[in-house]
Structure 1
Amino acid sequence: MKLPMSRHAFYSMTGTFTILSILGQVSTSIYSPFFYDLAIMYSSHVRVIEKSVAIFLIAFSISQLLSGFICDYVNKQSFLLYGLLVFMAGTAMVTLADKESTFLIGRIIQGLGGGVGVSVSRGLSRQLFNEKQLNISLSITNIAFAIAPAIAPLVGTLIGGCFGVSAIFYFVLMMGLMALLLLFSVGSTINQYTSPNSANVLSDTLALIKNSIVNIVSVGVASGLLYGVVFCFITIAPSMVMQQFELSKTMFSIYSLFATLCFVVGSLTNIRLAAIATITKFKLSSIFILGLSLLFCLVTIGTGDAELVAILIYCYIAFFFIGIAMPCSVTMILGFSKTSAGFLAALTGFFHLTGAAAGAYFVTLFTAGPTLSFSVTTMALSMGSVVICVFIRK
């Protein structure tokens, strides 16, 4: 008979899983203020460095999807270890890169390893914790998801400004090493409380696919497109804000922090709106974001560009509604099945990150100015989300 899990064991595992989950986000956001510095370092164009965000997200989303499928059938702790080692190998390649091709390949390897941490840690959390503990653990992880991309650029600015751009990637490597040590430290506890994998996972998953795949895909794609708006901003913001308005890296990091705070406020507002149906909150948020995007696009086209205040107002309000929509979409997808939660969690991450990769990539394809590229891309993404919402059923 298993003994009740101690408070220390619970928070130790939650902290480990949280760090494993946010490594990918940190590794992407932390060097965003230095896109131009990296382009100069590799004698490349800033558009190539911007695309490193998209290729990382593609690898990250594929890894998250596949690892979610696999983790129900293998030892999850060992799987986490291998994924972390792959991430660290990619980080080492990025750190030591002397040309753009090595840098981009390293980012792909980082993505392949980082995606494992998200899906498998969620699967382990589901297996290890009771319902109350799971809710607390996932809430802590979600808060870290929101805060990490905002804090990372500021941390990167401080490290890069004091020690050089390469030091940023050494810092990420140290985070990976810390996660590795934490994983070893909770290994015995994980073994003690881990239950055997269910023998019915495959049949339950196949039944779920047969009966609900259209609804699952609809929710996933609609929410992924909204997540793409976030990564449009992350990708193009250095050009749109720093270059155009000649702001310092510190001010850019502060503006990014405010954007994330708006996302957090939106998530907290979603909790306060518990009386409203989840699907209703999601659809209304998508509609509000589309209306806002259309207005911002018209202002940008009509004036030939947009002032910094207009850009920030659009981003902050959009991030607020995305903060409402994203937890709604996760709740909707996970609500389709209890026994296939790992599979559904993997799909959730895959759709969100695929949408993020699409937003990060499409915004770099335009030859127009960065603000116009941003406004057109975000309008297209939000419009796609609203159209797909039509096909979502309760």
Structure 2
Amino acid sequence: MKHTMSRHAFYSLTVTFAILSILGQVSTSIYSPFFFDLAIVYGSPVSVIEQSVAVFLVAFSFSQLASGIACDYVNKQTFLFFGILVFIAGTLMVALASDQATFLIGRIVQGLGGGVGVSVSRGLSRQIFNEKQLNTSLSLINIAFAIAPAIAPLVGTLIGEYFGISAIFYFVLVLGLLALILLFSVSHKLAQYMLPATENVLSDTLALIKSTITKIVSTGMASGLLYGMVFCFITSAPSMIMQQFGLTKTLFSLYSLIATLSFVVGSLLNIRLASLSPLQKFKRSSLLIALLSVLFGLTVFCGFANDLLIILAYCYTMFFFIGIAMPCSVTIMLGFSKTSAGFLAALTGFFHLTGAAIGAYAVTLLTLEPTVAFSLSTCILSLASIIICVTFKKH
């Protein structure tokens, strides 16, 4: 039974789920300092390499949605093995790519495999852990989820500078193999604690969709657009910071690390603001983000934001408030139903990553100076999010 799980089994499973959850993030952010180098290698515009972030996120988001829905009806352990193998295959394609087309296709395959690890591991966590264990496990995984993309660019810089760009992707391959080995090592524990699927999952999910789909979609869209702002920064930062201001890859990685730490600080503050409901915190954070984005957009178009300090101050403050808003949006989404939590978790990931793809594409499609494209994209996304927030009611 769940309450008999040993401490060793709990942490073994949590570490495995954490690695499965961060593979996609690491594979995306670890090569961001080398966008320009990869463009030279493949003889392509840097915008093509920037779009590799977006195509990955599209595949990743659809994979999360499909696997999250399917995992309630199939063997979750087998599903996880399949997802890791697909991710490893995509990573090999990326590492061995000799042209931009193969590189982009490899990123799509990576996304399809990586999305399985996130949704299915969440479903398994809910099934095998008791309430206290689940809270502890998800907290640890969320820490890894926040720290991994912050550290990855710096790790990628060190590997790329000393061993070459291709070594970065082989490092990701090693992480995928490690996840496979860990999953295999805990397979007997999963078999011991997994429970059979609930027979009424489908009927409960259909009833939820019929009664609450408008609220679910509006919440998902509002939070997804905020998440898209994060990827506006991730995609445009190499051009906006390194190219415009001539900074080194190491400094760029450090500035990216501070941005993620700002997100973590916001998430920690969210825990402290216990007197406010998740809906109140989400609405207020969204409003502040929108006001901040409009102010930054005005300074850019008036020519007053060509200073790196101003740009970074905006980015870090934006990340801080998004750090407050995102956990609240997940809480709101999962609060719609207990029995269909897996379905709702899949939808949450889908909306977040769809928003991320929109943000990543927006800054590449706008043929403007990097800072202008970034400010315009974040302004539009934040305003769209707050407009949707106006329609929110208490659930």
TM range (shorter): over 0.9
Shift of 1:3: 6.8
Structure 2 unaligned residues grouped into runs of 5+ = none
Once the two structures are superposed, the pairs formed by residues 136-285 of structure 1 within 5 Å of their partners are 136-285=136-285
Secondary structure of 1:261's counterpart equals helix
Contact residue 305 and residue 372 of structure 1 kept, 8 A? no
In 1: Cα distance, 2:343 partner to 2:329 partner: 15
- What is the match of residue 366 of structure 1? 366
In 1: Cα distance, 2:144 partner to 2:163 partner: 26
Per-residue CA shift, 1:210-234, capped at 9, x if unaligned? Answer: 1111111111100000000000000
Per-residue CA shift, 1:26-60, capped at 9, x if unaligned? Answer: 00000000000000000011000000000000000
AA matched with 1:113:
G
In 1: Cα distance, 2:228 partner to 2:319 partner: 11
Is 2:54 aligned against 1:64?
no
In 1: Cα distance, 2:317 partner to 2:238 partner: 20
Structure 1 unaligned residues grouped into runs of 5+ = none
In 2: Cα distance, 1:275 partner to 1:123 partner: 30
AA matched with 1:47:
S
Secondary structure of 2:302's counterpart equals helix
Contact residue 215 and residue 391 of structure 1 kept, 8 A? no
Shift of 1:277: 1.1
Per-residue CA shift, 1:252-299, capped at 9, x if unaligned? Answer: 000000000000000000000011111000000000000000010000
In 2: Cα distance, 1:304 partner to 1:353 partner: 32
AA matched with 1:132:
K
In 1: Cα distance, 2:249 partner to 2:84 partner: 30
AA matched with 2:112:
L
In 1: Cα distance, 2:88 partner to 2:260 partner: 27
In 2: Cα distance, 1:331 partner to 1:184 partner: 31
- What is the match of residue 120 of structure 1? 120
Shift of 1:305: 5.1
Is 2:323 aligned against 1:319?
no
Secondary structure of 1:288's counterpart equals helix
- What is the match of residue 341 of structure 2? 341
- When normalised by structure 1's length, the TM-score is 0.99
- What is the match of residue 392 of structure 2? 392
Shift of 1:105: 0.2
Shift of 1:306: 2.2
- What is the match of residue 355 of structure 2? 355
Contact residue 220 and residue 348 of structure 1 kept, 8 A? yes
Q: 1:242 to 1:205 in 2, by over 3 A?
A: same
Identity, % of aligned positions: 71
In 2: Cα distance, 1:307 partner to 1:246 partner: 13
Per-residue CA shift, 1:288-329, capped at 9, x if unaligned? Answer: 000000010000000175210111000000000000000000
- What is the match of residue 23 of structure 2? 23
- What is the match of residue 330 of structure 2? 330
Q: How many residues align?
A: 394
Instruction: Find runs of 4+ consecutive structure 1 residues off by over 3 angstroms.
Output: none
